[in-house]
Structure 1
C-alpha cells in the first residue's frame, strides 16, 4: 500500500513496509466529531497510522515528524487524530507537550472544543475535562486520557506506559526533554506500538535548541531515518516571499481555509522577513543543511584544531581545575593561563585513575605554581574529594550551577571567537567530539556528563578557563623555564602548562 499525500508537501519520507493503515478504522470517530480531513491531512493520517505485515505501526521507531508553517491546521488535524485513537483504543494514554504554557493551553482548548461536540460528548464523563493549569487533561469513559503541559515548566517527567507522545513546538525541543520523556513509551501496551509526533516550524539558527528536530530532518533527507516518517511543507527557498503562489505551495489550507487576510496579518506581525520565511512559509535556513559531521558538534572540530598553538607565550599565573568522569574511573586536572596576545590557553596535564595519592599531587601543584584558584564543580563526582582537600589545607573554589553555566558559555564564546588556544591534545579533542549540552532549570546549559565517560578533560579545562578569567585579575609576568611531564596518553603539549605531574 502507498499512502497518498497532496502536492502541498515538499519532502515526504514514508517508512518502508506499509501494507495497511489504521486511519480507515478511526474515520467513524472523525465523522462523529463532524471532522472531515483535507486531502493532505488524510495522506498524513494514512502514513502516520500505516502498518507493516506484522500489524505494527511502520513509524513506531522513528516517529512522525511534521515541519509545517503556521495556520495550516496541524493542531486541529493531529488533535482530532489522537482523540479518535483514544476512542478507538480503550485505555490509551496520550501526552501532548509544547515548550510554552500558552501553546499547550491553546491546544487543550482546541481539543476541548472537539470533545464537546454532540457526537463525542457522551464518551467524556462530566469530570473528564480538567482545566487547571499544570493539570489539564481530557479523560474518556473507556479509560483513555490526554494529558497537556509545558516542557518549560518541567511537564513530562515521571510518566509510565505512554502510548502516544506529541512534541509540539519541536523546534524548541531540547535533548534533556527528550531524555525525560521518551522512556515513558518503552512500556506502552498498545498492540501496534507507541507513536511519537514531532510538530514544528523551522528553528531559528543560533537561538532555538533545534538540534533534535533538525536531526530528524537531516536523517530523513539523507535516507537514514529508521522506521519513521517525515513530512515538510514549505515554499521555495529562493521564491518571492510575498507571492501568493508561494503561499499556496507552503500552506495547503490557503486560500480556502486560511484567508488571504489571515496570511497578511501574520506577515505584518512577524518581526522580519526571516521570521515570515520560517513561520509563515516553512522554509528552513541553510544553516541547518550543513553536513552532520559539523552540525552535531558543539564546537566544530576543524575550528578547534585551528586553535592549537604549541609555541604561545604564557603568563606565570595559572588556574587549576579538577573533574572526575561519571563512572569515577578517571580524574582530569586542567590548567589555564593567559597568553601574550590576550587569549586563554587551556591544557590537561593529568588524566589518570583516581588514587590515594591524588591529594598529595594537588598539594604539590599548588606549592609549585601558586594558582589563583583550584576549582571543583559541586555537581561533579570529583566533589567527593572536597573533605580530603579541606583536611589537607586546600580550600577549593566550588562552582554552583549558575557558575557552571557561565563557565561553559565563556569557554564556548572564546572558542568560537578564536580567543582560546591549546596544544592539540587528543584528550580534549575526543572529549569535545563526544560532548553534548544539558539544559539547566534556571536557564543556560552545561556540558552533559550523563553516560559520557570521556567528558572530564573538557569539564576540567572549562572550569580552569573560567577560574582564570574570574580570579586572576592582575596580568602576571612571563613564566619560568618549562618542566615537561605527563601521566596521561597523548603529546606532552607546549611545556608551559604541561608540568602538572612533574611535581611528584
Structure 2
C-alpha cells in the first residue's frame, strides 16, 4: 500500500457501527505508526482511525479496550490481515519482548495468514529486525521472532492451539465467528499476566457467522456494542470495548456494486472489480455472499417468528385477489423505507409482501422518503386499495399530508391499533393464515421482530439496534388495513402490479 491520500475515507465515514471505549486520552498508535512508516508500511485513513482507537489508552496508561477487547466485523477482501498483521508487527518492533499469538479456527486459514505475514516481515524495512532464523515453520510451530525478543506465534484452535500459554500481551482471534466458549476459556487467561505496560489486548476479527457456526461469543460482543448505541445513532464513545462493523445495508441487493463499495472500503481501489467478481463467481449462494462479502449479519429469529415458522408459509406462486391494502413504514433514521401489501388469496389465505419501489425492480427497502408519496399515488390509481395505512408516530408520519395532497386517503394507527396489528400478524403466522413468496429480505425482517412492552400489550421493537424490521412493520400495517376493511365481493382477480 502507498502513503495515504486525502481522498481516502475516515473510519467514521465507512463504519456502519462504531463504538469506541470512553476515557481515551492518548494512543500508542503514533509510536507504532512511526515504526511502520520507517519500515515503508503505510495505512489508509480508516486503518489509522482503527489503530488509533484500538491502541487508545486512558489516563492510567492502560488500553481502554483491555477489558472488552477490539472487535471488528469485516467482510472478505477488505484488508483485515494487512491492517491487523502490520499493527501487530509494529507493536513487536515498539515493545521489546512482546508476546503475541494469532489463532484461527481452521488450520488452513492460520497457514495462509502465516504466509502473508512472512511476506510482510521480509520486506526491506522490516527484515533486518528479524532474529536469525526468525521465521520458524518446523514441527508444526509457526513463529516469527524479532531480534528484540518479541515473538508472534500462530496456530489453529481446532487443533488445541493456545492451551497452557501465559504472559501473552496480544491475542488475535481470527475467524471469530467460529469461536467457542471453550476456546475462550483456554486462551483468554493467557493475557492475565501480560507484561506490556499498557496491559493485555485481545482482537476478535471475523465475518458474520453462519447459522451452523458456534458464533455465540462473537454475536454477544456485537450485541453488547449495539445496545450501547442510542436509538438513531451509529457512533458512540462508551464502555470498554471497541466495536467496528463494515457492512452493506441490511436489505442490499447482492449484486449492487454501490453496496459492495459501502461494505468494502478497499473496493475498487485496493480490491479491483475483477477480484470481487472472482469471489462472487466462487460464492454463488446469495446468503453466503451477503454475509461474507458484504458483511450483513444474518437473522436467526427474534424470539417470536422463527425462520422455520416463516418458511412453512412460503408459496412462490402466491398472489392476492383485489382489493389489496398497503402499509407504509420508514425506520427511525430514514435509512430504510418500505411499502407493504396484503390481500386475500383465492383459497382464503392472506398474501403479504413488499412492493418494489418501481416497476421491474426487486422488492427491497430503500433509503429516504422522497420516492414514497409518488409511488403510493401510482399504486392507488392503478389498484384502488381498500386501505393505505401509515403509523402517524413513525418517521412515515411526515408523509401523511404529502400522500393526502396527491388524492390518496390515508388511514393512521394509534398505539392501541398498532399493538392490535402486531398481535394479529403474529396470530396469523401461528394459525397458518398467511402466505408469502419467499423473499429473503422480508424473511430477514420478519424473523428479526422482537417484542416491546406497550402498556398491557406489545408491539414490534422498532428501537432494536441489532436488526432492521422495516419490511415487517410495513406488512403488519398492510395486514391491519386489510382486516379492518374486509374483502369486497365481486371483484376481478388481482394481478401483480410490478409486472
Normalised TM-score (structure 2): 0.56
Matched, 1:219 2:232: no
User: Could you tell me whether the CA contact under 8 Å between 1:104 and 1:149 is conserved in 2?
Assistant: yes
Q: CA deviation at 1:30?
A: 1.0
Structure 1 residue 294 displacement after superposition = 12
Root-mean-square deviation (CA, aligned residues, Å) is 2.0
Q: Distance in 2 between matches of 1:199 and 1:157?
A: 20
Residues 7 and 112 of structure 1: CA distance in aligned 2, closer, same or farther (over 3 Å): same
Task: Specify which of 203, 206, 230 is matched with residue 209 of structure 2.
Answer: 203
The answer to whether residue 238 in structure 2 is matched with residue 238 in structure 1 is: no
- Asked if structure 1 preserves the Cα contact closer than 8 Å seen for 2:20 and 2:239, the reply is no
The residue number in structure 2 matching 1:424 is none
Uncovered stretches (5+) of structure 1, i.e. residues with no partner: 296-504
Residue of structure 1 equivalent to 2:281: 268
What TM-score do the two structures reach when normalised by structure 1? 0.56
The aligned residue for residue 281 of structure 1 is 294
Find the counterpart in structure 2 of residue 32 from structure 1.
Answer: 38
Q: 2:268 aligns with which of 227, 250, 255?
A: 255
SS at match of 2:130: coil
Specify the SS of the correspondent of 1:171: coil
Residue 268 of structure 1 aligns to a residue whose secondary structure is helix
Partner of 1:42: 48
Q: Could you report, residue by residue, the CA deviation over 1:2-21 in whole angstroms, capped at 9, with x for unpaired residues?
A: xx624221000000001111
1:419-498 maps to which residues of 2 (within 5 A)?
Answer: none
Give a deviation string over 1:329-356, Cα, whole Å, max 9, x none. Answer: xxxxxxxxxxxxxxxxxxxxxxxxxxxx
Count of aligned residue pairs for this structure pair: 290
The answer (yes or no) to whether the contact 1:47–1:229 under 8 Å persists in 2 is yes
Which is higher, the Rg of structure 1 or of structure 2?
A: 1
In 1: Cα distance, 2:201 partner to 2:71 partner: 11
Q: Aligned match of 1:188 in 194, 215, 231?
A: 194
Distance 1:273 1:38 in 2: 30
Report the counterpart of residue 83 of structure 1 in structure 2: 89
Distance verdict in 2 for CA 1:17–1:259, change over 3 Å: same
SS at match of 2:205: strand
**Counterparts of 1:133 and 1:282 in 2: how far apart (Å)?**
36
- State the match for 1:146 in structure 2: 152
Match of 1:114 in 2: 120
Deviation, 1:134, is 2.6
Aligned match of 1:124: 130
Look up the match of 2:15.
Answer: 9
Structure-2 separation of matches of 1:133 and 1:259: 38
Report the equivalent of 2:63: 57
Q: Structure 1 residue runs of 4+, over 4 Å off?
A: none
Provide the rounded CA distance (Å) in 1 between the counterparts of 2:272 and 2:100.
32
Cα 1:153–1:54 change in 2 (3 A) is same
Partner residue of 1:174 out of 174, 177, 180 = 180
Name which of structure 1's ranges 63-72 and 219-228 shifts more when overlaid on structure 2: 219-228
Q: In structure 1, how many angstroms separate the alpha carbons of the residues matched to 2:228 and 2:156?
A: 32
